[in-house]
Amino acid sequence: MTTHTNSIACPQCGKYFFFTTHRTIDVSKNPELKAKAQSGALFTLHCPHCHHQAVNPDGFVYLDPESRILVHCAVTPDHIQATLEKIHEEPALSLPDDTDEAVQITLREQPETYAIRVLTSLPDFQEKLAIWNAGFDDRVMELVKMMMAAQVRAQGVTFDHVFFVKGQGTKPHAIQFFDSNTGKAQGLWINDRTRAVYDALEKQFEALLKQHARDVVVNSQWAIDLINEMSQKNN
């Protein structure tokens, strides 16, 4: 784990305060940070003057060797481009300096065995963890989201964001459709029918998913591009 202490002006009251950011998070070495990363608490800043809470604006690296997950959350265009170039050159180069040698060797020799992702926001990061923690492949789930979005949009529902929401307690997982203009959200439970769609898409796109095993930007546009690629192959 690598941390950095800095000062920032509170966006609410304007007063400066010091805060500690987590630049790298290796949950194999600090397992107590996994739940805090998932909830977002690890990245929440608390102003000691007015008690306002804000999201840490810095990027970070999240590593879970047991689950074979490596996530770069890059928040500026330059940071995103630099991260993509480093991963393209050699995925292991993007690891934190104190990463165990076994993990470095695996990423050098078998990078396709890791889910390596480059994200641009904390909500995107939290959604990815929720998908993986629920036992799903985030690539297939992006395809499911696009299929369900098309069905919901055809029913006249207006939205501009689609999220996977992990179930809690007796509540099942869900796909949520959010309209940022109205603040309204509509959710569809992931039931047996949805899981059947997931399984069918996983089988249908199996060959393409293998071809794109080293894609690191996996989002709605990625899913649309993959669907279009499949359509072209079938024509």
Residues 162 and 104 in one domain: no
- What does the pLDDT look like over 138-188, one tens digit per residue? 999 999 999 999 999 999 999 999 999 999 888 899 999 999 999 999 999
Residues 86 and 154 in one domain: no
Count of alpha carbons within 13 angstroms of residue 132, beta-carbon side? 19
Residues 86 and 173 in one domain: no
Residue 227 identity (one-letter amino acid): I
pLDDT at 179: 94
pLDDT at 231: 92
Quick check: 202 and 184 in contact, CB under 8 A? Answer: no
pLDDT at 62: 94
Residues 140 and 108 in one domain: no
Name which of 61, 74, 71 is nearest 114 in CA terms.
Answer: 71
Instruction: Output the pTM of the full model.
Output: 0.89
In the block, residue with structure tokens 């690890």: 42
Residues 77 and 185 in one domain: no
Domain boundary among 96, 120, 144: 120
Taking CA atoms, 183 is separated from 161, 164, 167, in Å, by 11, 17, 21
- CA–CA dist 168, 190 (Å, integer): 13
Residues 204 and 158 in one domain: yes
Residues 146 and 172 in one domain: yes
From first to last of the 235 residues of the chain, give the pLDDT tens digit.
Answer: 677 888 888 989 999 999 888 888 999 999 999 999 999 899 888 999 999 998 887 889 999 999 999 999 987 888 889 889 989 888 888 887 778 899 999 988 888 899 999 999 999 999 999 999 999 999 999 999 999 999 999 999 999 999 999 998 888 999 999 999 999 999 999 999 999 999 999 999 999 999 999 999 999 999 999 999 999 988 7
Residues 174 and 217 in one domain: yes
Residues 140 and 40 in one domain: no
Residues 171 and 111 in one domain: no
Q: Is residue 129 part of a domain?
A: no
Domain boundary among 58, 93, 120: 120
Residues 101 and 10 in one domain: yes
pLDDT at 149: 94
pLDDT at 97: 77
Containing domain of residue 185, as a range?
A: 134-234
Q: Around Cβ 136, how many Cβ atoms within 10 Å?
A: 19
Domain count for the chain = 2
In the block, residue with structure tokens 């770069």: 72
User: Average pLDDT of the chain?
Assistant: 91
Residues 116 and 147 in one domain: no
Name which of 94, 197, 55, 214 is nearest 140 in CA terms.
Answer: 197
Q: Is residue 127 part of a domain?
A: no
| High-pLDDT (> 90) share of the chain, % | 64
